[in-house]
Amino acid sequence: MRGWLARVGIPAGGMTGKSVRDQAERISRCKLTFDIATGNRASGLVQQTIVDRALFIEADDGAVQGRLSLETAKLSEGFFEQLRKHPVPLEEAAIKALSNNAPALDCYLWLAYRLHVLKADRLVPWAALKAQFGTGFSKLYHFKNKFPGTLALAQAVYPAARVEVTEDGVVLKPSRPPVAPKLISASR
């Protein structure tokens, strides 16, 4: 993890390191539940953990109160298989460029996840965007004024992202992924 953090320009120590350790622990403890619906009724659910096992050690940084640090983690088989089936192509340079702007980074990740699998244009209404990205805004109109700037920052590092800001929301359009697919040649 330290090597990757260094590549994207995030310091592994200090307050940033503490935040990374805290987030790693939260993700390790995360459990996702997906409702499977048919029509208007929920007909089942799927529960998924991200990590099967994690080892935390107390950080030896001279602090009066030790902090836990994620030493190793094993992804759950189900989560790993979903990553293999539905990869999200991300550009490390984009992550590095947005590393000091959490809203723009979240927006980039969202665009990278959604755009390359779309078959047709899709409107995401302002209320849905606010629910996902604007929980810190009390009023929708405040969010609507701010979000296009955040979206523009994400598009700056993902120039192939095709989106249109409208009065009703943001229209997502099928786009190339931010990272070109790798072609593997087969030789005989």
pLDDT of residue 61: 54
Grouping H, G, I as helix, E, B as strand and the rest as coil, residue 141 is helix
> pLDDT of 99-156, one tens digit each?
889 899 999 999 999 999 999 999 999 999 999 999 899 999 999 999 999 999 999 9
> pLDDT of 20-33, one tens digit each?
778 788 888 888 88
pLDDT of residue 183: 61
pTM: 0.73
- Please name every residue paired with 152 in a beta bridge, in sequence order, or none if there are none: none
> What is the DSSP secondary structure assignment for residue 138, as one 8-state letter?
S
- pLDDT surpassing 50 at residue 165: yes
Burial of 52 from C-beta contacts in 10 A (0-12 / 13-18 / 19+):
middle
Residue for token digits 């755009």? Answer: 115
Q: φ, ψ for residue 50 (rounded to 5)?
A: -90, -40
Residue for token digits 């550009």? Answer: 91
- pLDDT surpassing 80 at residue 184: no
pLDDT of residue 66: 47
What's the pLDDT band for 182 if we cut at 50, 70, 90? low
What integer is the mean pLDDT of 161-174? 98
CB 175 within 8 A of CB 118: yes
pLDDT of residue 141: 95
Nearest to 52 by CA among 81, 22, 29: 29
> pLDDT of 33-92, one tens digit each?
877 777 776 678 788 888 888 777 765 555 544 455 666 788 899 888 888 888 888 999
C-alpha count within 13 angstroms, C-beta hemisphere, residue 33: 4
Report which residue type is found at 108: Y
Token pair in block for residue 172: 């997502």
pLDDT of residue 140: 96
Tell how far CA 95 is from the center of its chain. 10
- pLDDT surpassing 90 at residue 98: yes
C-alpha count within 13 angstroms, C-beta hemisphere, residue 168: 5
Q: What is the C-alpha separation between 129 and 135, in angstroms, rounded? A: 10
